[in-house]
Each structure stands twice: as C-alpha cells, then as structure tokens.
Chain A
Amino acid sequence: MNLQFTLASRYLLGRKLRSLLTTLAVIFGVMIIFGMNTILPTMISALQANVQGAEGETDFTIVSKTGSSFPKDTAKSLIEIKGVRAVASSLERTINLPADFVDQDPSRPDQIIAVNLVGLNPEEARTVRAFPTVEGRYLKDTDTSSAVISQTLADAFSVRVGSLIHLPSVSGLTELTVVGLLPAAIGTENEQIFVPLTQAQKMTGEVGKVNTIKVNIEAFASKERRAEIQTNITSAIGANYKVGAMIADDEMFATMEMAKIALNAFGALALFMGGFIIFNTFRTIVAERRRDIGMLRTLGATRRMIIGAILVEGFLLGLLGSLIGLVVGYLMAVAVLAVAQGPLSAFINIKLGWPIIQIPLAVGSVMIGVSVTMLAGLIPAWNASRVTPLEALRPTAAEVEFKNQTGRGFWVGVATITLSLLALLSGQSAFILPGGVIFLVGLMLVAPALVRPFAAFFGRIIARLTVRQGIGGLAEKNLTRQPSRIAVTSSTSLLALATIVAAGGIVFSMKGTLLTMVDNSLGSDFIFLPPSVGLWGSNLGASPLLAETLRKVDGVDTVSTFRFASSQAKGQVVSVLGIQPQDFQKVSGLNFTEGSSAAYQELTTERTLIANSIFMVSTGLGVNDSVELTTPNGPIQYRIAAVASDLLNAKISTIYISQANLQKDFASDQDVFIQLDLRPDADQEVIGAQIKAIGKDYPQFKVISGKDYFNTIESQFEAAFSAVYILFAVLAFPSLIAMLNTMTISVMERTREIGMVRAVGGTRWQIRSMVVTEALLLAAIGAVFGILGGVYLGYMLVTAIEVVFPMGYSFPFLGIVAAVVIALLFGGAAAIIPARKAARMDIIQALRYE
C-alpha cells in the first residue's frame, strides 16, 4: 500500500495543473452540497429562534394543533396528572416591528426586528420558570400595563425602570411601563416582553384566551417516565392539541422544504458532472501511463496492485478536493447568508446568523466527494489493470478509436429518447418528470455516435472560415479520434447548458405569469402591508375597527381585508384566509383554474371554500369534495367550490373562506392585510395622506400605493431571477473544467504528432489555431446537446409546475443565446493554456516524446 501512496502522491504532485483541474471538479461538487445544506438549516434555525423564542427550562409546551388560542380553563385538568409538578398558561405572540421602530434611526441596521409578547399570570408563571430581575421588580397579580423586559432590550429602546415603551397592538399603539429588568439575553432568540395576561389579551384582541401551556414535571424523570407523562397529558388535553414542539413554524418549513429539494438536486447534478470530469481524467491518466503501468506489471505488480494505485490516487484527489470544498462551501454559505439577509428581511422578519456547521454533513460531504472520485476512477483503474506488460516495451502512439460507435448503448439511447418523447406527448405529469431525466440519459448514450457527424458538420463550417490555414480538417479529425472521450466531455457541457436553457425556460415563463398576477391580485390603489407577506401567522393584525375607519374616509370606495387562521386538512398544515367575497372581487381577485368566480357567492351562503393548487395537490382532493378542517371547535366539514390562486399565497397551501365563517369556526377577526380602492373621482394625493395618517397608529402595517408595490415586487423578481440565473451559470463551471481537461490531455497525448507537424513546416500559429478550433468544435457539440436537453427539460418543468401553479410556456430564446455564448466562451477559454503549450513545444523534444 505504501508504494501505491508514494506513486499516487508523486504523480499528483508531478502534474500539478492537471491535479488542480481535476480537484476543482470535486471541490465544486462538495462546495455546492456542503454550502447549500449549510445555508438552509441556518435559515431554519434563525426562524426557529425567531418563532419559538426562549423556551426556557419547561418540560412540555402545549399548543393547539391549529396554532390558534383557546380558553384559559383548558389547562385546569393537567395538574391532576401524576408526575406533573406545575402548569402555567400564557398568551404568546411574535410581534414583528416595522423598520427603525426601536432605534428610530434609519442609518443604523435594526438590532431588534421582532419581539415576543408573553402574557402571563405572574405567580402561576413562576412555578414553571424563574424571573431573576437585576433591577426593579417582577410582575404582580395586580399589575395592568406593566412590563418586564431584558437589560438588552432596555438598552435598545434606551429605557430604564419606570420608563414607557410603545408596542403595536390590534387597537393601535399600546403604552407599557417597564417595572423590572431581567439579565441580558443570551443567544439569538427574540427578545421577550412579559406583561400580565389580561394586558396581552387586550393587545392581541384575544380576551379570555391563552395559546400556550407550559408544564413542568417531577425532577429526574427517566426517559420512559417522561414518555408516559407525555402520553397522559396528550390524552387528558385531547386531540386538538399538540404536546412538545410548537407548530407556528410549520408554514415556513413547508416553504423551506421546496427550496431544500431544489438545492439538493442542484448539488447532486454538480457532483454528477464532477464524476464525469474525474472519469475522463483518470481515463487519460491511464492512457498516458500505459508504459509506466506496463513497466510495473513487468516487474511483478499484480492487477490488484495497479487498481489499488489508481484508486489511491482517486482517494487522495477526492479527499483533498472535498476538504477544500468544505472550506469554500462554508465561505460560500457565509457570503450567501450575508447577501440573502437584505432581501429576506423584506419578506420575513428573521435575522440570519453565521452558518451552522453540522459535523455529520461535513463528514457526509467528504465521504460523498471521495466516493464519487473513487467510483469515477473505478473503470479506468480496471482498464489499467488490463494493460499487458508488453505495453512497457512498445513505442506508444496516441490512441485512436476506430470502433463502431453505434453499438448497444446507442440503440438503448434511441429507445430512451423515444420513450421520453412519448412521455411528453402523453401530457401526464407522472410521466413527464421522469421523462426529462431519461431524455438526458438517452442523449448521453447516443452522444458518442453523434460526435463524428456533428464534428464533421461544424468542421465544414470552420474549414470554410480557415481554408487558407489548412488546419480546420486536422482539428476535426483530431477531435473525432476519441469519440467516447469527447462524448463524456460533451455530456458535462450538456448537463450544464441544459440546466441553463431549462432555467431560462422556467424563469421567463414564470416571470411573465407572476407579473400578470401581481397586477391582478394587487392592483388596488392602497395596501396595508404587514412585515411578513404570506406567513400571515407571524403577523400581528388589526381589529376590524381599522377597516371601518378606512371605509368612512371620504373618497374611499371599497376596502377588502384578509383575516387569517391556521388549520389542518388531511394532516397537512393549511393557511385559512377569510375574505369578504364582494369587496375582494372588486379590489383584486383570484385566478381561477377550476370553477369560476361564481364560487365567491357560494362562500357566503354555506361552508364552502376556494383552495389553491398546492392545497389540492397536497391533499389529493377534487372540486366538490368535502374536506374536514381542524378548528378550535373541533373538526368541521367544508366543501371545495373552486380552485384558484393569488400571488401572495402562491407558495403555501391556502384556502379562502368567508370572514363570517372564519369568525364562527376559527374565532378570528383580525385583519392581517388590507387593500382599498378609491372612487375614480377621488384625489389620490389628499386621500392618500389621510389614509397614511390613520395607518400611523398601526405601525405593524406599511401603507403603500398599489403602483409602488407593483414596482417593488417587480424589482424583487428581477433580483431573485437574476440570482437564480447566476446560480445556474455557476453550474456551467464544471463544463469549463471538463473542456480544459480534455484539451490539455489531447494536446499532451499528441505531443509527438505536433512535433511532426512542426517539423514538416507547420507554424506555431497553425498549431495554436488547430487547438483552438478543436476546443470550439468541442464546445459547439456540447452546446447542441445542451440546447436539445435544455429545451426539453424546460418544457417538462414548466408543464410539471403548471400542476400547482398556472403558467404558460415561453420558448427560452435568451437562455439558448446564453448557452451558446457561454459554450463558445468556455471553449475559447479552455483552449488558451493547451494551445499555448502546443505552440511552444520544442520540436526535437516533442518528436522524442514518449
């Protein structure tokens, strides 16, 4: 083994450029996998910290399954349970604070962007956790508008004991007196503001209600005992409640889940391309070391030893690449999180910290990187072991493949492509998705056979351009001497460019559709916008009074609001939005995919709902089916009247019901989003000023004009889509590595031939153009495959997405142009070093080259 390590490390060091290029592929793959998977958990944990706040030392936390509040008496029976030591109910709400609310200073980044309002019975709460004040006092049962906050929060607000602070509430700004300070908060959780329960109920409009029960159990309970107590609590409190973790973050996790799948697919694709590159490199390594390998065989090295030596090389390369990949991936995560903080805080009020390093992920990424490298080296290693000792004695000439390329692989590829085309024609989404994958596989299988005709075709074009240089034909022949190697290289370009073209297809199709929807859904004159659009549950709403006040403003024609409740249907979390069908239709409206706007009328007459496509897909229900919704009053049946979406709720499983039904079944009457239209004759400026003045008392909302909002959204789309585009362009990087590798290798292999061409009178410039031409041919072949694959893939993805999100397919002309430009640029770039090397070769030495 020692010798294998020596050989492997010396060979790697001996060809530093090649080792670097090959390692790049591994680095890139591991970087994507590790980096992406680091970014996501960091976001999730920031979210958890935001939503959950400090859970403290309580053993169990009980919330309702729908996330809604419940009568305070619910907790009563729990203290009877054996093993339960203390029970305390509280009403807890995250209050998102508008920008500059705390420090009043737009020039400084906000430290506090949300707080947790915790309403509690002071004495009862002390039985489940401690409140060690450092200044002032803890709450008394007789307190009304008192608050206890942490030292840190007091510093942020610049207040002391006895000072007043103001917080947004359902009935406008509420004034609280700070009576005590707790020690400075540790960690990244939201700051908590403790107030008497009645005060919190008033501020959130939930009189007589709580939403959290904390339970402490006997000390030193064993794991089994804890489980037993948990079971007893669960059966005592009933099926509508959840014991243990909080549910409030489920909405967000649903959104994150989609991102996670997409990112992992991305990483897998990157590593897959890395595998191709490594495979190609090792194949070449074996080819150029035939003599060394033959020599080792002559001296008595067994086949196993040869395989071992190549695999050790793969191992070292993989390990090195993976370790560097970890570091680069971490740095990428730091950078992405820093960049994402800005746009993200516009939508969701969360603060991202430093990336969280997960040891299992790091180990896993290294293992994946190393195994992909070794796996890619396996076939070349096996081939190396078949090298006969006689190879050591034969003068080697660059290898040429003359074998017929239309073998079994080709026909399997043709069959695969036919199948995938049939899948597309079927129009069935169940067939279309796998169809895209097998289409790419099919392309890769037929690629070796197509290399010659493609090269001949492009070669003819190039030969015409370079007729006087007499090297176009030579370049084409050089390229086609190893069709399978070119095919492997092209497959890498294929995947990269196909992704770009497909992404183009989706981006263009989606952008057009989304902007139309923005105009439809948010075409109102003014909007009261909460901090978190879409994640309604984390917003503090306003009492119906605000909407009433707005309706009374002279010149206001219609006011439409969203009210929110969380529910579950078929075990899935669903966002329930209460609308007033008449007003909603006038101001904005839904895009119907099944049924029609007649469904609005049905909402008011019975328990019916309009669902969005995500809800339909996740529950598997159809129009006119009945569905059981979890409510604070137990399960209630609703009928699905139609399928429709609006932009704000496009990402999340959502149903729309009437506000009357929402009040009746979910006991929710807070407005979380308000839109209003003015009369046509109204003066926008004057009335706008009046509306904004009313909004001042409700700082949880931002009051903007619909047109401004449309522009904001449009620029956010532009930013998001260009980020997506950059991400996919980065994915094209492995194809550059692959082409560079292939070109370097092919020049190296042909050293003697190049020497010969020079000896018989070829100029340096001719040699250089020959190599560049070869690289451009290589790139062109990759581009053709990539565009074919990408157009199919893009069409397929749009069709698949259409199932949950209505959008039309637009042909990705720009994506294709981008792919061609990238391919040719990369081809040219890949040729620079090898072409210079070839042109500068010493003729005598090249002729002697072994």
Chain B
Amino acid sequence: MSIISTQNLTKIFGSGPTAVTALDHVNLTVNAGEFVSIMGPSGCGKSTLLHLIGGLDRPTSGSITLDGISIANMNDDRLTELRRRKIGFVFQFFNLIPVLTAVENAALPITLDGVKPLSAQKQASQWLARFGLADRSSSRPDQLSGGQQQRVAIARALAAEPTLILADEPTGNLDTRSGEEIARLMREVAKKYGRTVVMVTHDPRIAAYSDRIVFLKDGKIVDETTLSRPNSENAAAVAQKIHSIGD
C-alpha cells in the first residue's frame, strides 16, 4: 500500500528569465513501512521534494497524495493539522527549541495538539527511553551532544505517532560515528516501529541503511536502487553510482 504518491510534481522558483525549475514532473511512490533515501548532487531538488511531501511548500503543478489524501491544494490550517498528526520531521540542525528541556522538546507536537503537558511528556519520554535518553530528559539542548540532540529530534518526530517521518540530512551536522548511529536509528524506526521514512542525504554510507535509494538530478528522478540489507559493500556500490550520476 502506498503512503506517498506524487504525479508530475513540478516546482519552479521565481518567474520569467530568472525562473529555476527545482522539480520537473517527478513521479514517486513510497510504500508503508518503507525506508527510502533520496540522493543526488547539490541543487538537484532533494530538499524541495521533501518540503513538498511534508506540506511545507506548495507545488507549482502536479499532485501529492499522502495516505490517500491529496494535499496540493489544502489550506494552511488543514496542512498544519496534517503535519501535526501524520508527519514527523527531522532536520540537519536538530532545531530544538533552546529554552525547552529534552522531554519538553520531544513532547511539542502532542502538546501543540492539545494534550495536557504532563501526559504529553509521559508519552514522549517513552520514545526518549527507547533511544537511550531516559536520564537526559530534563537536560536543555545546549547540555546535549549533537548525536543526543538529533535523537531527541527523532523522538519528537515520533511522539505524535505519525505514519510518515521525513528527514532532511539528519546526519549532516554530526561526526561519522554519531551519523551512523542515527542512520541505524532511522532504520529501526521503519523496521521495528513500522513507520515510513523518507530521508534526504548525500552520504552513501548513511543511504546504505535504507531499503531503496532514489537518485535525483536536475529535478528529475534518474535512477533507483533497491538494497537487501545494510552493509559496507552496499555503501561502496551506492558511492559508485552517485559518482557515475555526476556529483
């Protein structure tokens, strides 16, 4: 069953002679429980694709269906509600609110949805515990390492129990060891907790943890690879491929 489906998805920034086509008639389908990586050279439209799927930006043309609902023409309030309930976001720069503790940050989406702070935090702290942060739940972001901050961010993405997790370069701001830790965690989110994960990355070793890799170039899908399970040979093969596409 498909969770995401885009048809002829096109995004053009600007107009007239300065117009830039970021996405050009992209057709992408992602199934429930799948872990998909999107790769490609800088400026190929990876992030734009992720933003459109997440309802953060609107397409110039084409359609997006999320869990059977078309979101391209939704108004702001409905999109906001959709993000709150159905989608979890993970960012490169973690984007934790500096004045809130780890558990308060993780509980944000449920708190925003009107759940009482205490029960929201109880729910969120379960995710923190699963990610090994039980003892750091009352720390502020500046008291946590980068890897820990990103784990809090992933706990936040999962707190509202969304079906879809969108991650934009989640390891881009981390060292290699922490990066791989996060990649393993993203796979666990898909495999153990049954969420659909779409991740943008430029790191072949990280992408190697996913089920499928979609390669984008100049706003178009140019290739796709399905992987059996994560291992170092996969990573090497992915690196080869991305090189051949022209990084």
Contact = CB atoms under 8 A, between A and B. Distances in A.
Interface of A: 2-3, 6-7, 10-11, 13-14, 291-292, 295-303, 305, 388-390, 392-393, 850
A6 B117 contact: yes
Given A297-B80, A298-B56, A300-B85, A291 B95 contact: yes
Task: Identify which of A2, A296, A299 gathers the most chain B CB atoms within 10 Å of its CB.
Answer: A299
Interface stretch (B16-24, B106-114, B180-188, B211-219): B106-114
B104 interface: yes
B58 to A, nearest CB: 10
Contact of B83 (A6, A13, A299, A388): A299
Interface in B89-105: 89, 91, 93, 95, 97-100, 104
B168 interface: yes
Nearest to A301: B112
Given A300-B81, A300-B83, 5 more contacts: A3-B112, A13-B99, A299-B109, A299-B156, A300-B85
B222 to A, nearest CB: 24
Given A301-B80, A388-B56, A389-B56, A295 B112 contact: no
A196 B99 CA distance: 78
Contacts of A389: 56, 83
Nearest to B85: A300
Nearest to B50: A393
Nearest to A291: B95
B76 interface: yes
B113 A300 contact: yes
A10 B100 contact: yes
A489 B99 CA distance: 28
Contacts of A295: 91, 95, 97
B12 to A, nearest CB: 16
B151 interface: no
Nearest to A11: B99
In the A-B complex, the 9 residue pairs with the closest CB atoms: A300-B84, A10-B99, A389-B56, A14-B99, A295-B95, A299-B109, A3-B111, A300-B83, A301-B112
Contact of B112 (A13, A296, A388, A392): A296
Contacts of B93: 850
B168 A393 contact: yes
B47 interface: yes
A819 to B, nearest CB: 40
Contact of A292 (B57, B91, B97, B111): B97
A388 B51 CA distance: 12
A130 B83 CA distance: 81
8 contacts: A2-B111, A2-B116, A3-B108, A295-B95, A299-B156, A300-B81, A392-B95, A393-B51
Contacts of B113: 300
A283 B156 CA distance: 28
Nearest to A293: B97
Interface residues of B, number: 31
Contacts of B168: 393
A296 B108 contact: yes
A7 B95 contact: no
A845 to B, nearest CB: 12
Nearest to B108: A299
Nearest to B173: A848
Given A2-B117, A6-B104, A388-B56, A300 B97 contact: no
Contacts of A393: 47, 51, 56, 91, 168
Interface of B: 47, 51, 54, 56-57, 76-77, 80-81, 83-85, 89, 91, 93, 95, 97-100, 104, 108-109, 111-113, 116-117, 156, 160, 168
Given A388-B56, A850-B93, A300 B112 contact: yes
A297 B156 CA distance: 14
A10 B100 CA distance: 7
Contacts of B91: 295, 392-393
Task: Identify which of B93, B98, B99, B108 gathers the most chain A CB atoms within 10 Å of its CB.
Answer: B99
A10 B101 CA distance: 10
Nearest to B100: A10
Nearest to B47: A393
A3 B51 CA distance: 26
B121 to A, nearest CB: 11
Task: Identify which of A292, A300, A301 gathers the most chain B CB atoms within 10 Å of its CB.
Answer: A300
Contacts of A305: 112
Given A14-B98, A295-B97, A390 B117 contact: no
A11 B111 CA distance: 18
Nearest to B113: A300
A10 to B, nearest CB: 4
A7 B95 CA distance: 15
B100 A6 contact: yes
Contacts of B116: 2
A595 to B, nearest CB: 73
B76 A303 contact: yes
Contact of B77 (A3, A291, A292, A302): A302
A7 B97 contact: yes
A850 B55 CA distance: 24
A101 to B, nearest CB: 66
Contacts of B109: 299-300
A10 B96 CA distance: 14
A850 B96 CA distance: 12
Contacts of A6: 100, 104, 117
Nearest to B120: A3
A306 to B, nearest CB: 10
A7 B99 contact: yes
A291 B94 CA distance: 11
A633 to B, nearest CB: 78
A393 B170 CA distance: 12
Contacts of B108: 3, 296, 299
Nearest to A300: B84
Nearest to B116: A2
A599 to B, nearest CB: 75
A297 B83 CA distance: 9
B158 to A, nearest CB: 12
A392 B98 CA distance: 14
Contacts of B51: 390, 393
B165 to A, nearest CB: 13
Given A389-B56, A850-B93, A298 B83 contact: yes
Given A3-B111, A3-B117, A393-B47, A300 B80 contact: yes
A393 B95 CA distance: 8
A6 B111 CA distance: 11
B49 to A, nearest CB: 13
A297 B47 CA distance: 18
B64 to A, nearest CB: 15
Contacts of B112: 3, 296, 299-301, 305
Contacts of A303: 76
A6 B117 CA distance: 10
A388 B54 CA distance: 13
A393 B168 CA distance: 9
Contacts of A388: 56-57
Contacts of B47: 393
Contacts of B111: 2-3
Contacts of A392: 91, 95
A14 B100 CA distance: 10
Nearest to B88: A299
Nearest to A13: B99
Contacts of A7: 97, 99-100
Contacts of A13: 99
A388 B76 CA distance: 10
Contacts of A300: 80-81, 83-85, 109, 112-113, 160
A54 B3 CA distance: 87
A87 B129 CA distance: 88
A305 B76 CA distance: 13
Contacts of A10: 99-100
A10 B142 CA distance: 14
A310 to B, nearest CB: 14
Nearest to B86: A300
